Chain A
Amino acid sequence: MGTEHDHHHDHHSHDDHDHSEPPADVALRVKALETLLTRRGYVAAEALDAVVDMFETKVGPRNGARVVARAWTDPAYRQRLLETPTAAIAEFGFINRQGEHMRVVENTPQVHNVVVCTLCSCYPWPVLGLPPVWYKSSAYRSRVVIEPRAVLAEFGLLLPNDVEVRVWDSTAELRYMVLPERPIGTEGMPEDALTSLVTRDSMIGTGVAHAPGQASTR
């Protein structure tokens, strides 16, 4: 039986509801529908290409990293980001779908924040792009609310017992981004260089920002 991780089609018999023809591979089904909708004038291939390109190359966690680095270097901006997050993020031009009502939650030495959507896959697209598969998986969504420390440990993040772990379940149209702590040893680093220390996971809360010199992953 597949899980939400199984992107390869291991289902064979569940899609045979009421059609005499056997169902085709999902890629063929999608292609057939695209062709029909295109011929009929509902969609245009180049518009679909542009949507895909936007999420593959333009909208993604590098946007959020710029916001975080600004907040680390500009106290007035940090204040605006925490108090009026949607407007503060819009200063970069990052304002669009799934970012209409942004909330920014700040990590401190006392509080570590982590974001989930237990009911579906809500995620702040304008600052983080589309979510990774694990964020949408039943494993993450079921477990991070009941055993956040065990989940964070799987990401390599071990938190002391005296740090409060605060989980944000995105049940409405508010979209959450974590403002990670600025790594030590980055005093005097310029905003551009700081941006490269901000990982996607540090803005979800399943990671922390890199220390200077640490290889950038995730």
Chain B
Amino acid sequence: MPLLSVESQLPWLAELAGAPLPNRREEAWRFTDLAPLRDLEPTLLPVVDPLGGVPLPKGVSRLDPAEWAPLLDASLVATGSEAAWPVGLNRAADPQVLALRVTGEADPLELAWDAGSAKGLAALRVLLVLEPGSSLDVLQVVNSSGANCTSLITEVLLAENARLNLGVLALGHGMASLLAHVAVKQEPGSALSCTTATAGWGLVRLEPRVMQSAGSAQTRLRGLQMVDGQQLADTHSFMSFGGPAGELDQVHKVVANGSGRSVFNGAVKVPQAAQQTNASQLSRSLLLSDRARVDTKPELEIVADDVKCAHGATVSQLQANELFYLQSRGIGADQAAHLLLRGYCDEVLRELPAMASAWHPLARLLGDGA
């Protein structure tokens, strides 16, 4: 340890973002130690084309800068994320914006990034503009295998009656960090299904944030985060209803193993204008190790009386009665536990867009040949 404190010197990321790293005295970062970001190699990594040279699918076209410039930030503003530190960092890194327009029934789209073993910061920014009545399945695959940080912002504007099935499959490395925002602004009649699965990262901060600008839309959120070793995964989700008759169906699952730390904070805001909202949020955590830790904090804020809002949270081991049932059918304890764990994870993973199966998410998450 050098005698002179390195604290006095701003980490490179703080310098780049023009703001100090969030600290744990801030409520939104209370459980999340950003130490892995302090020592990041001060290098901006070049980003490879996420389309991998494959032409854009039918129904998807590029927006030119004159078209996307006025649309950029709209969903960040709508979801109140523009001042968030990871957003500021991404902006400061000034990544090339992949801005896509979706018309009609588009063919599925896959975007893949792999920061590999390079050291430094990889910043990515995607803007998806879905026109009225259009629909799209999109899978984002984010990988890393080294001491780097991936900063990803996905902005989505869902016009009336548009439908988006968005999957984020993020498989990282113990040295790697991921800071991801998914900000969605939904117009009435639109439907969003957003499924995220993260595993393997030393540090993940994932913020799915959705605003139904005038209610009357459907939002389905599914999340699975796995931690093992010394990993930390933190999902802060945010859902707000700007008008009546909106729906939210959210399930967030956690598997905590090793000395892993899992954090889930799920905010749901139902203001006075959002009568007839029907919102449900379920947070389920499996705590599989006595060195691991799970922090779960749903936050429901309701100012409307004619609404249905329910939430639930559980933290436990695998269910003893379920294990026993399988064992009583002749399945060994370990295998029974594995089967239950697979079922638990698959419930979320099978909601990823269909092309995710090519990445064998279940096998890679559970580290077996399943």
Question: Is B truly associated with A?
Answer: no
